[in-house]
Structures are given as structure tokens and as C-alpha cells.
Structure 1
Amino acid sequence: MFYGIAAAATALLATAALTAVLRRVALRTGVPGRRTTGRAGRRVPRLGGVAVAVVTAAVTAAGACTGLAPLGSDALTLLLAAGAVALFGFVDDVRPLGARPRIAVEAAAASVVVHTAQLGFFVGALAVLWIVFVTNAGRLFDSFDGVFGTVAVVTALGLSGCAAAEGLDAPAAALGVLAAALTGFLVHNWYPARIRLGSCGSLFTGFLLASAAVLVNAGHEALPGAGSLFGATLVVTADLVLVTVSRKLAGRPLFRGGGDHIAHRLRRLGLTPQGVAVVLGVASLVGTVTGVLLHSGAVGPLAALGPVGLAVLGVVGLLRVPVYGVRGQRSRGRKVVSAAAIDLGSS
């Protein structure tokens, strides 16, 4: 108990401090190359994920080295695979590499995690696809102040509880540290955001959460396990489905950033930026609690219909919110869209 509190406090404070340092470095040097324009023309660096990944790994490694929280093979493999994805994400932040190499790296790292979980070929293949799906959903979701960090904290805490219940102490500790590190990052990412996760942090976080969910649910029955996986990633899954359908209907590229995510649509409906983060955090809490109850066997598989129904209704309803601006008059239209993006807090 004492170690858990000390590790969480250390991760929170260290991430908050390191994020502040990295923000100054990014603004002075222009690294990473891709930066976003926030309110009033402020530049918002995309380097915060480096702090989250480094502190999560460092605090977890310190616990292992001191013997207070030994790393088993599962947790070590999980962190190394997530670290490889984070490293690729950092390179992608500095010099965009495209979707194909990113998906290839994610699939390779996911295959290593799935092999450790000792899943069969068919189930393992589905698990790899699901990890890649959630990882990229997290990357696309990192587009609004405070949202992805809030949702990820809730998810990490829920999965940490599930891992602890399964006797997976090392993954549980790592997930707890991740939640604390993300909380420290949120100090700088809450509206108005001064820094974002970038590909490094969003890929690291999404991959770690998705892979941990697979490890935690390995060996469980198919329906409760699938329901638990979906519940834990309710918001990011619904967001990716919404964006995919919306861009497909509009004939827009899937992997290009834009202000058409759940958060942007809620903002257009009148919610404040802080309200958007809170609403999506609550939605994530509902899904995560449902996933935890399914995982523990406290409720039956039919309980998953609640989050599924919520996600479907949300996607269908939010598809009706206009987000792509007015056609015609290109130069003027770009100014209108740009102003709207600034007002929405989009990247």
C-alpha cells in the first residue's frame, strides 16, 4: 500500500515537472516538428507523451529494481512493447512516417504481447487487430483539451483493479503508475491546453491500455471477456467508429486530423471545453465500471448491452452535428474553419 501511494505521487509530480520542461524545450527548438495552433494563436507542442512514457517506465523500473514491485515476464513484455510503440510515435511526431509503418509496428508489438498471453491462433489474431484498433483510436482521440487524458486515467484505474483481482500485481502497479502519470500530464493539458500527448504519448497510452486489457481478460469466457474489453474502451471505440463513418460519408481521408471527433461535436452542441472532458470522463467511467463488473462475474454478459446501446445512440445522434464547414469560397472558408477549430480547442 505504501509503495503504491509513493509510486503514484512520484509519477504524478515527476510527469507534471517533466512536461513543463519539455514544453519549454519544444517551444524554443521547434521539436517536434508538428505543432498545433490553439486559442489566440498560441502554439501547443506535441511532446507531452514523452513525459508520460518516460516517467511510467522509470517509476515501474525503480519498483522492480528495489524489489518493492517485481516485474514478471508479462509486465516486462507489456512495457517493452509499449516502449517500442512510443519510440516510433516520437519519431512520427518529429517526422511523420505515415499510417502503414505505424500499423506494422503496432501489429508486431501487439503480436509479442498476445504471444505472452498464450492465446490461440484465431483468438490471438483477433486480439492483435483489437489492440491495433484501440491504439490508433487513442491517437485520433488526442485532439481536444483534457479529453484523452481524462478517459485514459479512468480506464487505467479500472484495468488496474481487474489486474489486481486476477493476481497480476506487476501489471496492476504499472497501470496505476500510468494513471498517476497521466494525471500529472493533465495539469498542463486541461483547457486551455499548453501541451498535447502527440503520437508518442497517445500511441503509448492506447497500446498499453489495450494490451493490458487483453492480458487481464485472457482465459475468461468469450462473451464476458469481449464485453469487458469493449466497456473499458467505450469512448475511444465509439469515437473511432463515429469518425470512420463520418469521414467515409463525407469522402474525407480517415487518418487526417480534423475537428469531427466526439469532443468537437459536443462542443458544437454548446458544452464548455471543461464540460466536454467531464462528460466523456463520466461516459468512460460507466463503460469501465461495466467492464469491471463483467470481468468479476458480478453481472452477466447482457449487461454489456447498456454501454453498447449508449455508444450506438451517441454515434447516430452525433453524426447529425455538422462539423465540416461551408463549401465554396475556399480562402474565406478556410478562415472560418480555422476560427472554429481554435474556438473548439482542436489540434
Structure 2
Amino acid sequence: MSNFVGPPKPLLFDWPTVVAFYAGSFAVAWAGTMAVIRHQGKLGMDTPDGRRKLHARPVSRLGGLPIYLTLMLGFVAAFWFLDVRFEGWLPLILCNFLMFSVGLADDFKSLGARVKLTGQIGAALILYSSGLSIDVLSNPFGEGGLEIGWWSLPLTLLWLVAIPNIINLIDGMDGLAGGFGLFLSLTLAFVGFVSGFNDIMIMSIVMAGALSGFLYFNFPPAKIFLGDGGAYLIGFFVASVSLKSSNKGSIVAALLVIVIALGVPILDTAFAILRRAIRGVPIFRADAEHIHHRLILLGYSKGRALVAMYSVCAVLSLVGISILLTKGVALPVAGAVLFLLAVGAARYLGYVRSWSNLREQMNLAMERRHRLEHARAHARVLDFDIELCCHLEEFSALLVQRLKWMDFNTSRAEGVSPVSMQFSDGSICHLYRPEHLHEEGEWQRRADELETVLERCIERWGSLPPALEFSRPEHGTLEASPEDPAKKQVHDSRLN
């Protein structure tokens, strides 16, 4: 197996055909996305929560549907009308469908991290069993390669599962994940062109056209969201197609191009994993501290933040392509660029406030983690209390005591600020925390530990405890438990 690809092979179709497929994919995705927006119903809607989801009204999360349909129509059209061999593409198409289906099902109703991960691994295993795998890591600087043996399975699964989740993780701002997918698709198309892989080139062009048509409606303010289905589809398409190109040529060449082009999402994912590990929260728990959130806190508008991240992605895509064109000579330069980007971003975005005081920052982070573990311990006890209590009022009294230990108040007072939680029945509970003590984000993470407990309370007794203030969207008032009319009170629902 050669280390890097040789000179380009002649294309089996002309450039007007390539442009026609891009334009056709754009038009089909544009029309499909418009149809989804016009006929959106109650299913698959993303409702704002006032915390991370700050859009003004519910927005459809089914943006992946027109992208997938466009991709399939493009494959059929290329298969019938172009002189291109699509050998080995059926398992790839099937597994892309399975990965998209897992995300789409989650867009309709939350499946949970374990169920989604199981589905992702299942799709990756099917593709691996079809023969698409990482078996040899070639030497980028010379001849020869490393046979990885039984490591082939875990490395292939890691590649096929990690990239969809990385794309999904950055899908927190209008136009971000779709734009990154567009850059990655164009990068793959260039890899296919330079390597002479006509099937990879044309399908990457189709995906680029589909994403362009979708992005017309996804730029801020978005009329439709990508959803888990769309994010998983983009990520798995990039992972599987890059793996297919590597099986035709050099493992290192094709995969390194994608790794470098994915520099920003990988960096964002690394920051998120480290941040959540230090704080002691689940890795898959969403927060509002991704790179795009930090840029907005620094004063960037959504548009400027999007342009900034697009620019970095475009530069990194070119750096990745340079590895391919220089036959690995540019690899040290690419590594240096990624290292400097990581160090500079950590400081500029505020993840590291000062390199000289890094130890003090770590100590402060560990103190916050201990406080969060303290809140989590109280939440676990309350979870048992739900089973032991005979009625809602009994549990409500225990809840008030636990909340005092967690430094929460259940009613307004001087010097307190609200912390809100939204539940599956539409109600929004309001706790109050001291204004001068700790950061707002820390209080929100403590409150999040109570969400599961209070959801179980709603399941058992049909309402939140009467000691809590909560509002319902249909009438916008703060009230006590409806099970005890004597205790029901109506207040102004506006928060301080």
C-alpha cells in the first residue's frame, strides 16, 4: 500500500456535470427544507428554555430529513447517469441510513445517551463487517506501514462513532455544524479529485450541495435546525467516506486531512470533556460554554462568531489538504498549527484565565466539584424519599430541608436571584440563590441535579411539591401544587 496518493487520474465526467450535480443538490435540498418548514407540526420541535435555547419560538429539528433525501437522490442519479463505479457503496449507504435514523428518532423523542450510543456502535459494526476498516497505518514520511492487528476494530469504531458525536456537539449555534459539514464535504471532494476517486468526489459534491441548500434557512436567525439526525448524518458521512478513500489509497493521507479540517470541533470537544470531567458532570450533559458561546460572551455577534469559526475551519481544511499535496512534508507544520490554536484558544476564550495561576484555577475548580457532589448527594437522598413518602406534602417538607442544605430558597427575598428548571409537563420551577455567592453557572448545575428528582415527583403525584413556585406556559402564573387548592397562590410570573 502506498503512503500517499500519486498523480491525479483522469475524471470520467466533465466539470459542467460536477456543477450540475452541485446545483441540482442545492435546489432539491432548498425545496425540501422549505417544505419541512411550511408543513412542520408539533413533532420534532425544539422549544426555547431560556437558558441554552434562546430562540424566540419553537423551531423544527428535522433539517436532516431533506439533506438525507437529497443525498439518496444524488446517489441514484449518479449511479444511473454517470460512468462512475460505486463498488462497495451499498453497505455505506445502509449504515448512513441507520445512523441518520438513530438521530431522527431522538429528534422526535429523546432516546437517552446510552440508546443512541448503542445504535451508533451498531451502525459502525455493520460497516466494519462489510470490509471498511483501518488495518494499516502507513508511514507519512517514508515507505512501509504498521499492521495494527486486533486494534483495527476499536480504532475503526472510534473513528466512525466519534466524528458524528463531535459534529453533534458543536451544533449549538445557527449555521455552525452545517457550515462545518460543508467545508468537510468540499475537502473530501478535493481528496477524491486529487486521488482520482470519482465516486467519492461526486457524492461529496452532492452532500456539499445539500448542505448549501439547507444552510439558506439555517443561518441566523434559523428557521430550521439540523437536529441530531442531520448532525449524525453529516458526521457519519464524513467518517465513512474518508475511510473509504483511505482504503483505496493511504490510510494516513485521507484520515489526516479530515482530522486537521476537524480541528475546531475536535478542540471544542476536548475542552468540553476536560471541563465536564473537572467539574464532575456527565460528559454528554449539555452546557453553554462551547467555543461559540465564549465568542458571544466576548462581544461577538452570532454572525461574526460564525464567520470567525468558518474562517478557522477553512484555513485548517487548506492545511489538511497541504499534507496530501506535499506527501506528508507539511505534517509537522499542521501539528504546530493545531497546538498553537489550542493554546491560544484556551487563553483567549477564558478556559484558562492565566497560565501562571493555573494551579490556583484547578484548586478552585475542584472546590466547585466538591460543592456539586454535595448537591448530587442530596438529590440521591431525595430520590429515595419519593419512594418512602406517602403523600406530596410529606415529601415537600423534606425537600425544603434539603434545599436549605444546598443554599437554595423556595421564595423570593432580598439579595437572591432566580434559577429555573423546565419539566416534561411544561411547568417551569423557580428556585432562588444568593446573589453574592458563587457563579450563576455553578448554581444552575446544582439545580440540574434536582431535575430528575422533581420529574419523578410529577410522575408519582402529578404535580411539583407545594413548597415550590412554578409557572405553566398556558397561563404564565406562579402557583403552588394544584392538589391542595388551599395552598394555591397566584403571583407575578416575571423573574427579577
- Under TM normalisation by the shorter chain, which class is it? 0.7 to 0.9
**Which deviations, in whole Å up to 9, do the C-alpha atoms of 1:209-250 show, x marking residues without a partner?**
122222223466666555323212112111111111122223
* Kept in 2: contact 1:151–1:235 (CA 8 A): no
Report SS of the residue matched to 1:333: strand
Bigger mean CA deviation after superposition, 220-229 or 253-262: 220-229
- Tell me how far 1:8 sits from its aligned partner: 0.9
Indicate the SS of the match to 2:419.
Answer: helix
Query: How far, CA to CA, are the matches of 2:322 and 2:127 in structure 1?
Result: 24
**Using the alignment, how far apart are the partners of 1:329 and 1:311 within structure 2?**
43
Q: Is 1:111 aligned to residue 142 of structure 2?
A: no
Cross-structure match for 2:230: 201
Residue 93 of structure 1, CA deviation: 0.8
Distance 2:409 2:241 in 1: 48
1:91 equivalent among 90, 101, 105? 105
* Residues 29-178 of structure 1: pairs in structure 2 closer than 5 A: 29-32=41-44, 34-36=46-48, 41-66=56-81, 68=82, 70=84, 72-114=86-128, 115-120=130-135, 121-178=150-207
Aligned to 1:256: 285
- Give the alignment's TM-score, normalised by structure 2: 0.61
Q: Identical aligned pairs, as a percentage? A: 24
Structure-2 separation of matches of 1:55 and 1:240: 29
* TM-score (ref. length: structure 1): 0.86
Aligned residues: 331
Q: Which residue of 1 aligns with 2:263?
A: 234
- The answer for the alignment partner of 2:35 in structure 1 is 21
Residues 1:173 and 1:122: Cα distance change in structure 2 (over 3 Å)? same
Q: Which residue of 2 aligns with 1:217?
A: 246
* Partner Cα separation in structure 1 for residue 250 and residue 79 of structure 2: 32
Cα distance in 2 for partners of 1:303, 1:74 equals: 35
Are the equivalent residues in 1 in contact too, given 2:102–2:120 (CA < 8 A)?
no
Aligned position for 2:304:
275
Q: Which has the larger radius of gyration?
A: 2
**Rounded Cα–Cα distance in structure 1 between residues aligned with 2:222 and 2:105:** 22
Q: Give the letter aligned to residue 140 of structure 1.
A: L
| Pair 184,295 (structure 1): closer, same or farther in 2 beyond 3 Å | same
Q: Which runs of 5+ in 2 are unaligned?
A: 1-14, 136-149, 354-367, 369-406, 411-416, 421-429, 431-439, 442-496
Q: Which has the higher helix share?
A: 1
Contact persistence 2:48–2:54 (CA under 8 A): no
Distance 2:171 2:127 in 1: 24
Residue 187 to residue 208, structure 1, CA distance change in 2 (3 Å): same
- Cα separation, 1, equivalents of 2:185 and 2:55: 33
The 1:118–1:223 alpha-carbon spacing in structure 2 relative to 1, beyond 3 Å, is closer
| Residues 69 and 170, structure 1, Cα contact 8 Å, conserved in 2 | no
Question: Which residue of 2 is the match for residue 244 of structure 1?
Answer: 273
1:312 aligned to which of 342, 347, 362: 342
- Aligned-residue offset at 1:30: 0.8
Which residue identity does 1:122 align to in structure 2? W
Deviation at 1:329, TM superposition (A): 6.7
The residue that corresponds to 1:4 in the other structure is 18
Query: Structure 1 residues 59, 225: CA separation in 2 closer, same or farther (over 3 Å shift)?
Result: closer
Can you list the C-alpha shifts for 1:291-328, whole angstroms capped at 9, x where unaligned? 1121233552212213421442255223248xx9xx96
In structure 2, C-alpha distance between the alignment counterparts of 1:118 and 1:133, rounded to whole Å: 15
Q: Write the distance in 2 (CA, Å) between the matches of 1:62 and 1:197.
A: 24
- In structure 2, the residue matched to 1:303 is 333
C-alpha distance 232-116 of structure 1, shift in aligned 2 (>3 A):
farther
Give 1:182 shift.
Answer: 0.7
